[in-house]
Structure 1
Amino acid sequence: MALNRLTIAWGVLLGLSVTALIVGNAAPGHAHEALGVAGVAGVLLTAFLKGREILLHYLELKHAGRGWRIILLTYLLLVAALVLGAYAAEHLGWIASLRH
C-alpha cells in the first residue's frame, strides 16, 4: 500500500509534536523551571515547521502562487521570532533593566 502525501504529512506532524514535547520537557529538575532561550527556540522551531507543513500540504498552499507562500511563511517566521525575542528579553533581564 502506497502512502499518500497527507499521510506522510501527518507522520511528520506527529514526529514534530513528539520533538516539541521532548524539547519542552528538557529543563533539568522540575517541570516548572525555565527552558532557557535555546529550549524555547527549539520549541518555536518545531512549531514553525508544523505550521509550514500544515500550510503547504493540508491547506495546499504548495499549489498557490509563490507570493502567497512567501507571505504566509514569513508571517509564521515573524510570529516565532517575536515570541522568541519577547521571551529572551524577559529571560535575560533586558525588560527589567528598562523599568529602572
Structure 2
Amino acid sequence: MTHEDSRLWGRRLLRAWAVLVGLTVLSVGAALTGGSGQRSSLLAVAVALIASFIKARQVLDHFLDLRRAGGGWRGLFNALLLVILGLCFALYLAAGTSRP
C-alpha cells in the first residue's frame, strides 16, 4: 500500500466515522425531542431505526470492507438488517398497543 493509498483509506474511514457520529447525534436528538405523544414517539423510533440501518451499512462497507463484496453478499446483509430492524419496530408497536 502506497502512502497515497494509505491517506485515501484514512480519509474514507474518517468520513465514515463522522457519518456514524452524526447519525448518533440525530438519533439522540430525535429521542430527546420526541415528546410524549404516540405520533412523535413513533417518529423518533423511525428516525432511530433508519439511522441504525445507515450506521450498520457504514460499518459493514467501510470497516469490514463489504463494499468490495459481490451484490449477493451485500443484498444478504441488507435483507438481514431490514429483518432485524423490522422486528425491532414490530416489537415497539406491539409494546405500545399492550399499554392500558
| Range class of TM-score, shorter chain | 0.7 to 0.9
User: Residue 45 of structure 1 is aligned with which of 43, 50, 64?
Assistant: 50
Consecutive unaligned residues in structure 2, runs of 5 or more: 1-6
Structure 2 partner of 1:59: 64
Root mean square deviation of aligned Cα: 2.5
1:37–1:84 Cα contact (<8 Å) kept: no
Q: Secondary structure at the match of 1:36?
A: helix
Q: Percent identity?
A: 32
Does the alignment pair 1:74 with 2:79?
yes
Structure 1 partner of 2:27: 20
Structure 1 partner of 2:89: 84
Give the count of matched residue pairs.
92
2:34–2:43 Cα contact (<8 Å) kept: no
1:16–1:46 Cα contact (<8 Å) kept: yes
Name the CA distance, whole Å, in 1 between partners of 2:95 and 2:26: 25
Consecutive unaligned residues in structure 1, runs of 5 or more: none
Name the CA distance, whole Å, in 1 between partners of 2:78 and 2:62: 13
4+ residue runs over 3 A deviation:
none
- Higher relative contact order structure (alpha carbons within 8 Å, sequence separation ≥ 6): 1
